[in-house]
Amino acid sequence: MLNLQGCPWRDTATIYFDNVKVPVENLLGEENQGFKVFLNNLNAERMSMIVAMEANSRVCLEEAVNWAQQRKTFGKRLADHQVIRHKIAEMKQRINACQAMIIHCTREVMEGTAKPADIGLLKVMASQTMEYCAREASQILGGDLGSRLVHPNDHVNMGQSSNDVIPTSIHLAALLSIKEDLIPSLEFLAYELNKKSDEFWPIVKTGRTHLQDATPVRLGQEFKGFAGQAEYSVQRLERAQGALAEVALGGTAVGTGVNTHEEFSSRTCKTVSDASGVLIKETGNHFQAQASLDGLVEASGELKTIAISLHKIANDIRFIASGPRAGLGEISLPEVQPGSSIMPGKINPVISESVIQVVAQVVGNDASVTLAGQGGYFELNTMMPVAAHNILQSISLLAASAHNFADQCVQGITATTQGPDMVEKGLMLGTALAPAIGYDAAASIAKEASAKGTTIREMAKEKTELSDAELDALLKPESMTEPGIGAGGPAGGG
């Protein structure tokens, strides 16, 4: 349970987390005593970034403690000094409590239940973690406030630079959002679409190509196609995860790894992977990792492709449901809100339309990430903030949109009789006559039936010598929804 005494941007505050007392005296440096919290500047994307950066920070602190244990003080190794070892353990306990508090506050911010004090402390801890850890460790080791026995840069921040930590944190934040939000939403959407595919499988309707009538198709087959797009979207995210898993950590300033241990990145990546549940690994080429945003650009491209898939699904569903009298009207969408303030009884496909608007935003975000990828000048890309904002927003929007689409729209779709009723009137049933009478004769029958307003069956009985039994076998719509030459005729496009 979290309990805050005092405000974190003042001189003193005390945190109790799971009964562990964590003093935060003089948490901020003198230059930051006037810190103020602006809630409007906080959002879920920044919170994801903070959690990712704190994961890195905690690992670096532990590395600093390990380093301190190996230093000789007063002629003895710290690791052999029982009092110091106890103090180091106490420091770790307090840092664990701070880390838990950060995660707790982050979740509250994302859920919209955070108090101003919580948010302020989270913001402070994000920007002053290194300073705080150094001050706390120095006092535990017996030093006065400001003594810097443990230095924020030399020790706590040892082996890292913002030039490699920030891009690593962006990748980690994106990976966490993809795993925890977007993949579950797309899997949920695929599941609901597959359920509708099974439900609608017996229903045969007229297919359409170029917005014109085509050979029959099962309504369940259309929904199977939609489900496939959602399933392939998850596979595309696996490729995006592969691009994001390779991180810049360890390159320090310009990719050379100066002032860091050669195993720092690999060890830290393993620790962060174990703690976060997502795989990250040291890049095989630090120079490209810090000079470019190629991994983010690639991942954003996959997100754009997923957005286009969702557009196809949402757009087709709203057109199939158009009407109900003067449109296609082959399915009915659930009523989620009144459709018009002036036309009583009107129901609009608002959920599909919300998906389409999300797609527009994601496509725009991808354009921004693409331009940000061009901001790599020599050894560093300077457009990481806008790339991070846009890719994290795209993930968040797609996740929320896909889940809402499945929950508020797809689940409630029902089929009407309009599709099956129109199949017998469809002119493309003439395709099934081609194996029996030839393409030219079948085309002639289709054109004449269209001109006279009759059906293919009626015109075939008049123009051919095919019996009723033969026509029944040839013009059976269900057989035209399966592979084969018998009823479907020769293969062709259009």
Alpha helices in 431-479 (DSSP H): 434-437, 439-452, 456-463, 468-474
Query: What 3-state DSSP class applies to 246?
Result: strand
Residue 21: its H or E element: strand 20-23
Nearest to 290 by CA among 235, 249, 350: 249
Which residues, in sequence order, are CB contacts of 279 under 8 Å at separation 6+?
A: 175, 241, 245, 273
User: Given the structure tokens 């795989």, which residue do they identify?
Assistant: 279
CA distance 441 to 434: 8
Q: Exposure of 166 by Cβ count < 10 A (0-12 exposed, 13-18 middle, 19+ buried)? A: buried
Nearest to 126 by CA among 108, 146, 97, 106: 106
What letters, b where the CB count within 10 A reaches 16 and e where it falls short, cover 206-235? Answer: bbbeeeebbbbbbbbbbbbebbebbbebbe
How many residues does this entry show for the chain? 494
For helices 350-373 and 384-408, give the axis angle rounded to 10 degrees: 160
Number of helical (H) and strand (E) elements in the chain, helices listed first: 16, 13
Nearest to 477 by CA among 282, 269, 218: 218
- The shares of helix, strand and coil residues in the chain, as percent rounded to the nearest 5, are 65, 10, 30
Q: CA 294, 299, 300, 305 torsion: positive or negative?
A: positive
Nearest to 427 by CA among 393, 455, 388, 467: 455
Residue 214: its H or E element: strand 212-218
Which residues, in sequence order, are CB contacts of 157 under 8 Å at separation 6+?
A: 60, 130
Residue 206: its H or E element: strand 204-209
Tell me if 335 sits within 8 A of 347, measured CB to CB: yes
Chain-centre distance for alpha carbon 270: 23
Catalytic residues: 210, 340
Which residues are 246's β-sheet partners? Answer: 281
Which residues are 14's β-sheet partners? Answer: 5, 23
